[in-house]
Amino acid sequence: MNRKLFIATSISSALAACSPIGTALNNNQKFHAALGSAEKLNHALIGTRGMAREYRDGDVDRDFRVNGLPTPSDSNYQLLVARHFEPYRLVIDGAVERRGGFSLAQLQAMQQTTQITRHDCVEGWSVIGKWTGVRLRDFLAAVGPRPDARYAVFYCMDKDDQNTPYYESLDLHQAMHPQTLLALRLNDAPLDPDHGAPVRLRVPTQLGYKSAKWVWRIELVGSFATIYSGAGGYWEDQGYEWYAGI
Ligand SMILES: Nc1nc2c(c(=O)[nH]1)N[C@H]1C(S)=C(S)[C@@H](COP(=O)(O)O)O[C@H]1N2
Ligand SMILES: [Mo]
């Protein structure tokens, strides 16, 4: 059933894009609305079940390009770096049974997973890296999402020049995806500050801006409408698509 819907949507998208029939259909608002809802369905199917390609050790790029807002340079972050992130706690709160704070040592003691995947930035460049960390689904299982939890919101330590913090969100299906990681290591070394130390999100099924660096808090919510400008992420608040599936 799902597959049929997917194929039907692909064909109708192709029609809409490149045939005279498509042009007529394109002008039809009802058809447009139907396409819109089918597109959402495809997103849900691919984003939840599709697997990002995994590569071999030899495919790993030596230098993992650094991108985005500058690495935090405030005294709190400097102190964390100087103390090898010993005082760091990953806060988990919101619609969750067991709120709390996890030290890096606690995260390192949980089952670790390694993936060699490609990071695709929306700007058009890609880089292959080897990531190790805790599956977000294992972390969430440990804290127990409540039935009213629909999204996980990730709060980061960096801010732009307007003092607006970076943040991101995933729905719980995306959060439970087996390749969605709380990454602690990159290319066999502890995550360095520029790549998001001590904990970053790694979401190989979605564009790079979803892979939030310097995560200090995860909040489970029913809706992100009241968080910052309400679009579910720093870039989303400036017009990027919330759904960033590749
Ligand atoms: N906290 C935070 N996370 C972020 C960003 C950012 O500016 N701040 N930029 C995003 C974008 S657009 C990309 S491409 C990647 C870059 O990750 P890298 O520096 O490890 O290549 O981080 C993503 N996560
Ligand atoms: Mo990006």
Question: pLDDT for 22-43, tens place per residue?
Answer: 333 334 344 334 434 444 554 5
**Residue 83 — very low, low, confident or very high, per pLDDT cuts 50/70/90?**
very high
Neighbour tally for 87: CB within 10 Å: 12
The count of domains in the chain is: 2
Q: How far apart are the C-alpha atoms of 133 and 189, rounded to whole Å?
A: 11
Residues of the domain holding 16: 1-46
Judgement on whether residues 166 and 198 belong to the same structural domain of the protein: yes
Share of the chain above pLDDT 70, in %: 80
Q: What angle do CA 125, 128, 133 make, to 5 degrees?
A: 125
Q: How confident is the model over 160-201, as pLDDT tens digits? A: 999 999 999 999 999 999 999 999 999 999 999 999 999 999
**Residue 49 — very low, low, confident or very high, per pLDDT cuts 50/70/90?**
low
State the greatest distance between any 2 C-alpha atoms of the chain, in Å, as a whole number. Answer: 65
Note whether residue 244 is domain-resident.
Answer: no
Note whether residue 245 is domain-resident.
Answer: no
Judgement on whether residues 99 and 160 belong to the same structural domain of the protein: yes
Q: Counting atoms of ligand 1 from 1, which one is nearest the CA of 186?
A: 20
Q: What angle do CA 187, 192, 105 make, to 5 degrees?
A: 90
Judgement on whether residues 1 and 69 belong to the same structural domain of the protein: no
Distance 3 CA to ligand 1 centre (A): 33
Residue with CA closest to ligand 1 atom 6 = 68
Task: Give the mean model confidence (pLDDT) for residues 5-15.
Answer: 35
Judgement on whether residues 104 and 9 belong to the same structural domain of the protein: no
Judgement on whether residues 145 and 212 belong to the same structural domain of the protein: yes
Q: How far apart are the C-alpha atoms of 83 and 173, rounded to whole Å?
A: 35
**For the whole model, what pTM was predicted?**
0.84
Judgement on whether residues 60 and 35 belong to the same structural domain of the protein: no
Note whether residue 243 is domain-resident.
Answer: no
Residue 179's domain is classified under what CATH number?
Answer: 3.90.420.10
Identify the pLDDT of residue 32.
37
Q: How confident is the model over 117-158, as pLDDT tens digits? A: 999 999 999 999 999 999 999 999 999 999 999 999 999 999
211 lines ligand 1 (CB under 6 A): yes
Please, what is the angle between helix 2-18 and helix 29-49, to 10°? Answer: 130
Judgement on whether residues 107 and 220 belong to the same structural domain of the protein: yes
Ligand 1 probe mutation, 62, 67, 166, most atoms within 8 A of CB: 67
Q: How far apart are the C-alpha atoms of 222 and 32, rounded to whole Å?
A: 29
